[in-house]
Amino acid sequence: MASSRTSPRGPGRVLVVDDDRRAASALAAWLCRTGWHARAAGSRGEAERLVGRWSCDVCVIDGGLPGAPALLAALGRAVPAAATLVIRTATGPDATDLGADAVVGPLPADADLEAGISAAREAARLRGRTHAAPTAAPLGRDPVFRQAFETALRIAATDATVLVTGESGTGKSLLARAIHAASRRAARPLVEVSCGSLADGLLDSELFGHVAGAFTGAVADRPGRFVEADGGTIFLDEIATASPALQVRLLRVLQERRLEPVGSGRTRTVDTRVILATHEDLEALVAAGRFRADLFWRVNVVSIELPPLRARPDDVAVLADHFRTAAAARAGRESLGFTAAALAALARYPWPGNVRELEHAVQRAVFLGRSPLIDVADLPPAIAAAGGGQRPGALREALFDPERRLILEALERHGWRRDAAARHLGINRTALYKKLKRLGMDPRSLPPPGSPAAAGSGSRPAASSAARSAASRSR
């Protein structure tokens, strides 16, 4: 099937994860028949163990799988280049299509599944490219955040080792990618290594490579992560989880900038810029004897601390709108904005999961929301509760974009009568329709003429994906 659309390596590997193991196996068997190397896993745990040994190119996850969001996060760490596709469940309010590269409706027909896999691969490819592109610059206007970001850009041009700290989800990985993208190394690889995921027994070969025949199973030369990043950047993520053995290896390579592939008997130099990240307090770990002091001093050359989202209140709305537009484009869904009540809830919530939590909450609202205008009820319960009985706000308060706001104000003022609103704006009806379309608003989705001006009133419910799920395989 998808062989013509896939990577130059050919069809590649697909992992199918469904707590209904028979369904997972049936889908994997079908994928094998269409030319993929497919394997099935019956639980999140099994999938996570499997990708440790068998890195997949695509992971297809049943939306009803317990722990699906955690699995998506784990895949993002273990196999960041893998494309993820979620099959939405027909019933579940917990259709956990959060953060996947693509989503298909329940019981997808073969063609829908193929299209979904292609879309996920394309999104994953763009994701990889976007991360390296300067346009993926982290968003935010909070002064502390700006300062951190500007420091990052200033030192990007140097080869200095950078330690990025901050709570989980504050954007450390994003910042590391932005530093690489802004450096002279941008055209060379950025290799991401999650330090906790490296097995001690394979450390040397994993980091420094090996030559064929160095040990049983070493059938071919392998470059190792530092050599892969030669001329580029290595991003050592979750550095606090590095085992004592890994800490020793890192210290040596950081000091000497030389390494020895296993079995080669020769050392070689590498020109690799090192960026590290942690959400833990490394100094405290040094004091507790859990992190080597000499390695700490070696990595703590330039350190950049990212503030938690609760300390940057002005950025919440900016980020929320950015994630909303991106999720709507990705899901092919229409989205107009947030109600004032939803914005109030977002502003009050303390965001323990930081920007990642906000991103997931907004994606969820875009995917699951019934109206193109996100309301409090569309937010996860804990966040909705933070809003505390706000009155539903007027549409105009909820939208950011000035042109969109002007148009919606005119429509609202004239009871959603298109002709009157167009006259009010000094344009004709056709021009108004064109503008609405250009702003991503389907004129048909607006409240009917004569409607009152309440937020979200009269919005057309989003097209049901269940309508597309006529055919099914064995599920």
Interface ranges with ligand ATP (CB under 6 A): 138-140, 166, 168-174, 279, 319, 355-356, 359
Residue 238: CB minimum distance to ligand ATP, A: 7
Using the 8-state DSSP alphabet, how is residue 217 labeled?
Answer: T
CA–CA dist 414, 393 (Å, integer): 18
Q: In this structure, are residues 242 and 200 in contact, taking their beta carbons and an 8 Å threshold?
A: no
Distance of CA 180 to the CA centre of its chain: 18
Which of Mg ion, ligand ATP, none lies near 170, with the C-beta cut-off 5 to 8 A by kind? Answer: ligand ATP
Nearer to ligand ATP, 35 or 380 (CB): 380
Distance of CA 384 to the CA centre of its chain: 23
Beta-carbon count within 10 A of 204 CB = 19
Residue 171: CB minimum distance to ligand ATP, A: 3
Nearer to Mg ion, 40 or 164 (CB): 164
Say whether residue 278 binds Mg ion (CB under 5 A): no
Nearer to ligand ATP, 363 or 371 (CB): 363
Residue 279: CB minimum distance to ligand ATP, A: 4
Q: Which long-range contacts (CB under 8 A, 24 or more apart) does 417-421 make?
A: 417/449, 417/450, 418/443, 418/449
CA–CA dist 210, 331 (Å, integer): 43
Say whether residue 96 binds Mg ion (CB under 5 A): no
Which residues 143-172 are close enough to bind Mg ion by CB under 5 A? Answer: 172
Beta bridge pairs of residue 165: 278, 305
Residue 36: CB minimum distance to ligand ATP, A: 27
Q: In this structure, are residues 114 and 1 in contact, taking their beta carbons and an 8 Å threshold?
A: yes
Q: 303: part of which helix (H) or strand (E)?
A: strand 302-305
By beta-carbon distance, which residue lies closest to ligand ATP? 171
Per DSSP, helices labelled H in 7-57 are: 21-33, 44-53
Nearer to ligand ATP, 214 or 361 (CB): 361
With H, G, I as helix, E, B as strand and everything else as coil, classify residue 301: coil
Which of ligand ATP, Mg ion, none lies near 139, with the C-beta cut-off 5 to 8 A by kind? Answer: ligand ATP
Measured between alpha carbons, how far apart are the two ends of the chain, in Å?
20
Residue 359: CB minimum distance to ligand ATP, A: 5
Total residues at interface with Mg ion (CB under 5 A): 2
Nearer to ligand ATP, 105 or 166 (CB): 166
Nearer to ligand ATP, 27 or 234 (CB): 234
Nearer to ligand ATP, 263 or 308 (CB): 308
Say whether residue 459 binds Mg ion (CB under 5 A): no
Beta bridge pairs of residue 39: 15
Say whether residue 354 binds Mg ion (CB under 5 A): no
Residues 6+ apart with CB under 8 A from 458: 416, 446, 447, 448, 451
Residue type at position 48? E
Which of Mg ion, ligand ATP, none lies near 304, with the C-beta cut-off 5 to 8 A by kind? Answer: none
Which of ligand ATP, Mg ion, none lies near 138, with the C-beta cut-off 5 to 8 A by kind? Answer: ligand ATP
**Among 170, 173, 183, 272, which residue interacts with Mg ion (rule: CB under 5 A)?**
173
Nearer to ligand ATP, 102 or 113 (CB): 102
Nearer to ligand ATP, 106 or 169 (CB): 169
Which of Mg ion, ligand ATP, none lies near 209, with the C-beta cut-off 5 to 8 A by kind? Answer: none
Angle at 200 between CA 194 and CA 206, to 5 degrees: 60
166: left (phi over 0), alpha (psi -120 to 50) or beta: left
CA–CA dist 208, 205 (Å, integer): 5
> Taking CB under 5 A as the rule, which mask of x and - marks residues 21-60 in contact with Mg ion?
----------------------------------------
CA–CA dist 214, 375 (Å, integer): 60
Say whether residue 194 binds Mg ion (CB under 5 A): no
Residue 170: CB minimum distance to ligand ATP, A: 4
Residue 326: CB minimum distance to Mg ion, A: 18
Of the candidates 149, 235, 245, the residue with the CA atom closest to the CA atom of residue 204 = 245
By beta-carbon distance, which residue lies closest to Mg ion? 173
Residues lying near Mg ion in the complex (CB under 5 A) are found at 172-173
